[in-house]
């Protein structure tokens, strides 16, 4: 069950802003996800895409009826994956 804190407007704005900014950063500068000239592992990139998708789903206000989809596309899944994406992007961009 998702906490009431995640259903507030600010929580949705955080999800939408983080997902949109990460998507824009990856689109504008895809080499930010490369470390030493080597691209990210496909599985890790899939996790980042899942985080962005979940961030967009939560950010626009969609709440699935299915309990499992609500968990997989909610902020509890999106925020850690979006944070991981930003950490990887900033680490690789500054390296």
Give the tens place of pLDDT for each residue, 10-68: 889 999 999 999 999 999 988 888 877 787 788 888 999 999 999 999 999 998 999 99
CA atoms of 43 and 70, how far apart (whole Å):
22
* pLDDT higher at 5 or 50: 50
The DSSP bridge partners found for residue 35 are 38
Q: What is the pTM of this model?
A: 0.86
CA atoms of 39 and 57, how far apart (whole Å):
27
Selection from 85, 79, 12 nearest residue 49 by Cα: 85
Collect all residues with Cβ–Cβ distance below 8 Å to 95 and sequence separation of at least 6. 35, 36
């Amino acid at each position: 069950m998702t906490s009431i804190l995640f259903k507030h407007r600010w929580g949705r704005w955080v999800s939408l802003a983080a997902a949109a900014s990460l998507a824009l950063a990856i689109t504008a500068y895809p080499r930010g996800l490369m470390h030493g000239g080597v691209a990210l592992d496909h599985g890790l990139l899939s996790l980042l895409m899942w985080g962005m998708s979940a961030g967009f789903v939560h950010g626009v206000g969609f709440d699935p009826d299915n309990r499992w989809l609500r968990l997989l596309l909610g902020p509890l899944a999106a925020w850690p994956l979006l944070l991981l994406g930003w950490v990887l992007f900033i680490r690789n961009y500054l390296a």
